[in-house]
């Protein structure tokens, strides 16, 4: 599983070479931890395999199942506990923006404590990442990404895929404002860290116990440790895809997944790096349709995108709310920007974020026509996949709050006023990630 990731990601710098190593380590500590606690090995692997299948990667699902130790064979015999785990996995995989607090309540009712809940969230989010890396690298290698000639899945899940909220009318609209995030489960007490938790925080300049997000993820310190290595290599590795385009991709992914918090952070970072706040606002509003359609000999007359992610029927390319044909790239939105690279990056990010991923040969042709080389394409695949991971953690484990919105009493210490989910504001030093 990790060998292919490492081989492609290793092009360029040492940090990229570490992506494969830490991806494999994340898989190991999530699926086969020495002390699995309330979430046994069998349930962990059952969840991972289910998430991989829903993401259009049956081979990855089989590889996860092959990891199951014989001693874990009975872990999933408790029907009610298994059902709760699978219900959680399905929702977080297919529709993370609708993964409400009730899912955590259902897990708690089956005896899963905070460390088990965080571990399960990490498993679902990590598989989203690994499945999209596998699909993206297969596409770059010249094969179908998800079982068909154009990269679309042969069959899709019966459950609706995640869609972004309406930026104009949602109760939680997309914004460039700085938001707050509060956990739905008690975060780790910053003054009572274990030696392992303290070692992880001390090992990464990007982690801070002032952040309730990190203190929530510290329920599984080993997973947080390796995830942080992956995040920093993908988002901050030198060379390859320009930083502004990595932020553009993560902004688009966050918009499709409906992660208002991540979209606000990465919208601001994209605005800063591109020096164009108006363009960032258009992307926040319109997704890939913020850019004029990219037409090349390879993409003329084909689907160059999948719409904005709001009410789009991925199987037909038709926007269910407006009736416009997303496959033609028409009605790109008022003030659409002529930016061939931006258009190709954003349309790939939208398609690849679907569940299962739907980026195909037409998207790759548009990216190559826009001038992206192999190293940049590999960076793009990893950045898009990474935020399938990041968004799911943010959406299922806590809630974003807009300025002026009353904050609920969660029973957890609130030292969260304005933490970043992403790294840093530019050019300030990095303080966190999503």
- Interval 319-337: pLDDT, tens: 333 333 333 334 455 567 7
What is the DSSP pairing of strand 180-183 with strand 398-401?
Answer: antiparallel
Name the token pair of 92. Answer: 């977080």
Q: What percent of the chain has pLDDT over 70?
A: 71
The answer to whether 386 and 231 have CB atoms below 8 angstroms apart is yes
pLDDT digit string (tens) for 285-329?
Answer: 999 999 987 655 444 444 433 333 333 333 333 333 333 333 333
In this prediction, residue 134 carries a pLDDT of 97
Residue 239's H or E segment, with its range, is none
Enumerate the domain spans of the chain. 2-401
Q: What is the pLDDT of residues 1-31, one digit of tens each?
A: 544 444 444 444 556 778 999 999 999 999 9
Indicate the pairing of strand 180-183 with strand 318-319. Answer: unpaired
pLDDT of residue 145: 56
More confident residue, 112 or 412: 112
Q: Is the pLDDT of residue 253 over 80?
A: yes
pLDDT band for 212, please (50, 70, 90 cuts): very high
User: Which residues are CB-neighbours of 192 under 8 A, at least 6 positions away?
Assistant: none
Instruction: For residues 124 and 422, give the distance between their C-alpha atoms in angstroms, rounded to a whole number.
Output: 20
Q: Which residues contact 135 (CB under 8 A, 6 or more apart)?
A: 55, 56, 57, 145, 146, 151, 352, 356, 357, 359
* Rounded Cα–Cα distance for residues 196 and 223 (Å): 12
CA distances from 429 to 108, 226, 243, 404, 420 (A): 38, 21, 15, 27, 11
């Amino acid at each position: 599983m990790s060998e292919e990731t490492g081989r492609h990601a290793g092009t360029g710098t040492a940090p990229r070479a570490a992506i494969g190593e830490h991806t494999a380590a994340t898989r190991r500590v999530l699926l086969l931890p020495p002390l699995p606690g309330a979430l046994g090995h069998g349930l962990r692997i059952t969840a991972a395999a289910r998430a991989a299948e829903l993401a259009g990667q049956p081979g990855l699902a089989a590889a996860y199942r092959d990891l199951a130790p014989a001693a874990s064979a009975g872990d999933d015999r408790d029907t009610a506990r298994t059902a709760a785990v699978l219900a959680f996995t399905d929702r977080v995989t297919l529709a993370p923006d609708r993964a409400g607090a009730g899912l955590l309540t259902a897990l708690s009712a089956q005896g899963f404590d905070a460390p088990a809940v965080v571990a399960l969230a990490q498993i679902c989010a990590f598989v989203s990442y690994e499945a999209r890396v596998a699909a993206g690298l297969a596409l770059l290698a010249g094969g179908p990404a998800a079982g068909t000639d154009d990269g679309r899945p042969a069959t899709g899940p019966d459950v609706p895929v995640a869609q972004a909220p309406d930026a104009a009318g949602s109760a939680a609209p997309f914004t460039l404002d700085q938001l707050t995030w509060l956990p739905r489960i008690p975060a780790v007490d910053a003054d009572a860290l274990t030696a392992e938790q303290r070692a992880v925080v001390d090992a990464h300049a990007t982690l801070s116990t002032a952040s309730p997000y990190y203190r929530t993820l510290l329920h599984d310190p080993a997973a947080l440790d390796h995830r942080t290595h992956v995040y920093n290599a993908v988002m901050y590795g030198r060379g390859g895809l320009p930083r502004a385009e990595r932020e553009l991709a993560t902004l688009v992914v966050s918009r499709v997944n409906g992660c208002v918090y991540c979209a606000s952070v990465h919208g601001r970072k994209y605005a800063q790096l591109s020096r164009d706040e108006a363009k960032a606002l258009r992307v926040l509003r319109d997704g890939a349709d913020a850019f004029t359609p990219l037409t090349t000999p390879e993409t003329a007359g084909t689907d160059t995108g999948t719409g904005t992610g709001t009410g789009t029927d991925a199987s037909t390319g038709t926007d269910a709310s407006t009736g416009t044909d997303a496959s033609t790239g028409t009605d790109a939105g008022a003030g659409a920007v002529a930016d061939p690279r931006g258009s190709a990056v954003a349309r790939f990010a939208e398609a690849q974020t679907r569940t299962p991923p739907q980026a195909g040969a037409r998207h790759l042709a548009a990216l190559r026509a826009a001038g992206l080389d192999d190293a940049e394409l590999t960076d793009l695949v990893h950045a898009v996949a990474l935020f399938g991971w990041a968004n799911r953690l943010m959406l299922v484990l806590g809630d974003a709050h807009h300025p002026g919105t009353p904050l609920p009493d969660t029973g957890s210490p609130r030292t969260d006023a304005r933490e970043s989910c992403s790294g840093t504001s530019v050019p300030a030093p990095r303080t966190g990630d999503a």
